Amino acid sequence: MKKIGFILFSCMLALPVFAQQTPGQNVRTAAQQEIQQIRTAATESIEAARTAMRAEIEKRQEEFKSMMREQREKTKKRIEEKQKTLRERLQTIKDENKKRILENIDTRMDALNEQRTTQFESALDQMDGVVGRVVERADRAEAQGRDVASARAAIVHAKNAIASARSAVLAQAGKTYAITITTDAKLKDDVKKTRDMFSGDLRVVFASVKDARDAVHAAAVAVAQTAQGEKEKTATSSNSNQ
């Protein structure tokens, strides 16, 4: 009888241990482990994509900087030739003060063109960085099961707009503006025509850069709306369940 009681007592002690290893709990544990593995893999995948994207951005920017350097070297030679030609044409102008003014205007236009195109290049580099962060947000949203199709389309549009603006900036960096001297009496008109041409070209490039900036902003908004839409959907679902 004592042996039977001892056996029963031993079985009662073993029951909690046995309960911890029920088939249902094993399934839940396995499922949790699988979910964790999926999340870890997704995180690693996102991190790998982020690293690759940043490397791609840096490569693209370096390539563009190289093209700009080559373009500026070519432009520098054309500017030297243009200045030589201008000095020859200025021989027909008797007023030495007018000659100096014209040479200064010519020099300032070239310097301003280099300054503006450098600023545009810097702005586009910054936009590249913003797009990179927008892509990262889209990747995270997609990994969480959200619909990012519209955001992806906006990102592609932004990238294309930046590429188009870069082409415009590169072309502008290669331009020079020669003042065509007709007669002494028409010097003011001659200068105005050249200045107007220069200003018009800069406005076109600025518009292209602005389009790129607007496209980048639209992409950022699209990703933010994706996240906001998901929150609203979750809130609506919770309210309906209540």
69-98: pLDDT as tens digits: 999 999 999 999 999 999 888 888 888 898
CA–chain centroid gap for 121, Å, is 12
Query: In the predicted model, is pLDDT for residue 65 greater than 60?
Result: yes
> Residue 187's pLDDT is what?
85
pLDDT tens digits along 195-222: 999 999 999 999 999 999 999 999 999 9
Determine the Cα–Cα distance for residues 188 and 181; give it in Å rounded to an integer: 10
Query: In the predicted model, is pLDDT for residue 144 greater than 80?
Result: yes
Alpha-carbon dihedral angle through residues 157, 161, 163, 166, given to the nearest 10 degrees:
-170
Joined tokens for residue 75: 């432009």
> Residue 28's pLDDT is what?
64
Mean pLDDT score of the chain: 82
DSSP state of 91: G
> Residue 122's pLDDT is what?
96
Q: Give Cα separations from 4 to 32, 42, 88, 201 (angstroms).
A: 41, 55, 123, 102
Average pLDDT score over residue span 96-107? 91
The residue among 171 and 233 whose pLDDT is bigger is: 171
Query: In the predicted model, is pLDDT for residue 19 greater than 90?
Result: no
Of 37-41, 58-62, 171-175, 195-199, the poorest mean pLDDT is in: 37-41
The residue among 13 and 199 whose pLDDT is bigger is: 199
Query: In the predicted model, is pLDDT for residue 2 greater than 70?
Result: no
> Residue 92's pLDDT is what?
83
The residue among 227 and 58 whose pLDDT is bigger is: 58
Overall residue count recorded for the chain in this entry: 242
By CB neighbour count within 10 A (0-12 exposed, 13-18 middle, 19+ buried), where does 11 fall? exposed
Determine the Cα–Cα distance for residues 141 and 157; give it in Å rounded to an integer: 19
Global pTM? Answer: 0.75
**Percent of the chain having pLDDT more than 90?**
54
> Residue 226's pLDDT is what?
87
Query: In the predicted model, is pLDDT for residue 233 greater than 60?
Result: no
The residue among 39 and 133 whose pLDDT is bigger is: 133
The residue among 161 and 144 whose pLDDT is bigger is: 161
Residue type, 42: A
Query: In the predicted model, is pLDDT for residue 179 greater than 60?
Result: yes
